[in-house]
Amino acid sequence: MDSKTHQKLSFNSLIFHVKMAQSSQQVKIIEVCRIAPPPELPGSSAPKSLPLTFFDILWLRLPPPQSIFFYEISSPSHELFYDSIIPKLKHSLSLTLHHFLPLAGNLTWPQNSHKPILNYVDGDGVSLTIAESNSDFYHLSGNDFRKATDYHPLLSYLEISKERATVMSLQVTVFPNCGISIGFTSHHAVLDGRTFATFVKFWARTCKSGAESPPWIPELIPFYDRSVIEDPCGAEEIYLNGWLNHGGPNNRSIMPLEQQVPPNSVRGTFELSREQIEKLKKSMFVNIIDEAKHGVHVSTFSVICGYTWVCLAKALKIKEKEAMLVFSADCRSRLIPSLPTTYFGNCLEGRSLVVETQVLLGEYGVSFAVEAIGKAVKGLEDGVVNGGLETWISMTRGMQSNQRTFSVASSPRLELYNTDFGWGNPRKSEVISIDRTGAICLSDSRSGNGGIEIGVVMKMEEMETFASLFSQAVEML
């Protein structure tokens, strides 16, 4: 590690420990309400009942995805927050739910149904918490190392029992004289990242427009027809039986599995510009001898995931014999016939790949990782459903073998930084749930330069090592 990098890391560490000492992390709850679709409006095209597909059932008991958007608002007054911004957010959310009725409903698994069902009943709504925080807005919305649990008070949680679960819970937190954060918690069996992005952009567009009735935004109107989802491999039965036997037999629970945040975890954000990504791609060809022969596609995704995966494995000093990487692919455009991007629900399939730890940590570890990821992505061409079943089986086995599992969350293609409620794009977008899953989070860049943000969570010592490893190769590009 050179002296410049060491000084930068030491400074980041100092900032982190000072913030730890100063932060009292107090959040005052101002209001908790339930926002429902407008009852006086004509009927929505959104159905009031939806059965889950095998794409949804795959995620039935996995931890809820959680995200926060931070918005800086210039010279905000108390009156602006509570007399203008909050009412606009409530009204536009209600109008948005007119098109997204299932998000205001509940997920249940009735005794007379062989699979869970999503139901909306008139009067249902989304829980919205209004809070006020005295925390450092600019620290939380920055890229320096930050305590992972400092974000938890900015989120409200789902009302979940074994038999019933709300779909989404929201929290708007006011940071006086700075801005606001909007926190989202959702049940993964109901929506994936693409559906979440469609919803939040619809809400933002509605809020910004100041519409008094639900706007018609064709490119964001949800597509609900589930008859287009075919299941040629019997994935639904396999996934259902898997969950029924997990803690079973006949365990019909829809309660997500619990995952704890490791003690003393910190969050870090690292960014690669478009230029750096292209240089990193070119450097991969040095050690991947024949791209055409091996069928390897060196993409932005494979390069960033491979590079980050190796840095993580080294920083965490993994001891397992093998390392597994799991990622999800959006299947909407890969199905035959293809689905609209606004298809409501989950439409993801997992892919997994395994590399020997010794190879991953070796001199050409990044090149081997990129090649393996490229082949896994190419494997999507052989059929997304069948490959998803293989991933389900390999992950189950991997939990009991000498493997260390890493995963990837979110996607730059969601363009979450392009979400303007009327105050400009977010100062920061964070996927909070990676502090429990340990996933690598990929996002578009707030700078809008075509770069990628990489979010990771680990202990402070590991984070410093990761930052050093990550920056060494970047500085050479």
Residues annotated as part of the active site: 188, 420
- Give, to the nearest 10 degrees, the angle between helix 274-284 and helix 365-378: 100
Answer for the pair 243, 57: CB distance below 8 angstroms, yes or no. yes
Residue 416 structure tokens: 């979450």
Per-residue CA distances from 39 to 43, 44, 139, 195 (Å):
9, 10, 41, 24
Answer for the pair 100, 202: CB distance below 8 angstroms, yes or no. yes
Distance (Å, whole) CA 50 – CA 173: 32
Q: Strand, coil or helix: what is 156?
A: coil
Q: Where is 199: in which H helix or E strand?
A: helix 193-209
Distance (Å, whole) CA 81 – CA 70: 14
Distance (Å, whole) CA 440 – CA 270: 11
Per-residue CA distances from 108 to 164, 171, 191, 238 (Å):
5, 24, 15, 20
Q: Which of 332, 326, 383, 377 is nearest to 352 (CA)?
A: 326
- Give, to the nearest 10 degrees, the angle between helix 193-209 and helix 86-97: 120
Answer for the pair 329, 352: CB distance below 8 angstroms, yes or no. no
CB atoms within 10 A of CB 295: 12
Q: Where is 68: in which H helix or E strand?
A: strand 66-72
Answer for the pair 402, 321: CB distance below 8 angstroms, yes or no. yes
Tell me how many degrees the CA angle 219-220-223 measures, rounded to the nearest 5: 100
